[in-house]
Amino acid sequence: METEIIGFGGGCHWCTEAVFQSLKGVVSVAQGYIASNHENSSFSEGVYIDYNPKTVNLQLLINVHLLTHKSTKNHSMRYKYRSAIYTFSQIQRTKVETILVELNKNKGDDYITEVLDIETFKASNEEITNYYYSNPEKPFCKTFINPKLTLLLKYYSDAVDLDKLSHLKLALAL
């Protein structure tokens, strides 16, 4: 199976990790800290995802990313939670920029999400990886991650691995 890799940042990496782990076609998610170059050289929380483009396409991944974090608003923690899509090649960067331009045409508020070249990735300590799926009952997960996963179920249920989110699917049915 041929896969592709891309990076996303926008909210805490626990949230972003859980969102992408819940999608069909995402082979792996590595959470950590991502730095780009020049003015974006400081580390910000984010994830690398390895995905099968025959199962999940780049457009869907970007749509999910923009839906599940504050992608149109700056806030005081933006230095820690940079709204970004991190690319690994000029071809990938051009594809992402084209998708964002098209999405902005159909949006009332412009996305603040930047398209940045990946420079460095530092993985999180292993004990905090796979946070949601190791701790779904923790208050943080219920308060911050479940609402994002509920959005996935509402807008992209065909792309979601429903077995992973059966606990939320049942809650939504009530």
Phi, psi of 9 (to 5 degrees): -140, 150
List the domains of the chain with CATH numbers: 4-173 (3.30.1060.10)
CA-to-CA distance for 103 and 71, rounded, in angstroms?
A: 12
CA geometry: angle at 13 spanning 9 and 19, to 5°? 85
Q: According to the model, what pLDDT value does residue 80 have? A: 62
Residue-by-residue pLDDT tens, the chain, 174 positions: 899 999 999 888 899 999 999 999 999 999 999 888 877 678 888 999 999 999 999 999 999 999 998 777 665 555 567 889 999 999 999 999 999 998 888 777 788 789 999 988 999 999 999 999 999 999 999 999 999 999 999 999 999 998 888 877 655 553
CA-to-CA distance for 117 and 86, rounded, in angstroms?
A: 5
Overall pTM surpassing 0.85 (yes/no): yes
Q: According to the model, what pLDDT value does residue 156 have? A: 95
For helices 166-173 and 146-156, the axis angle rounded to 10 degrees is 80
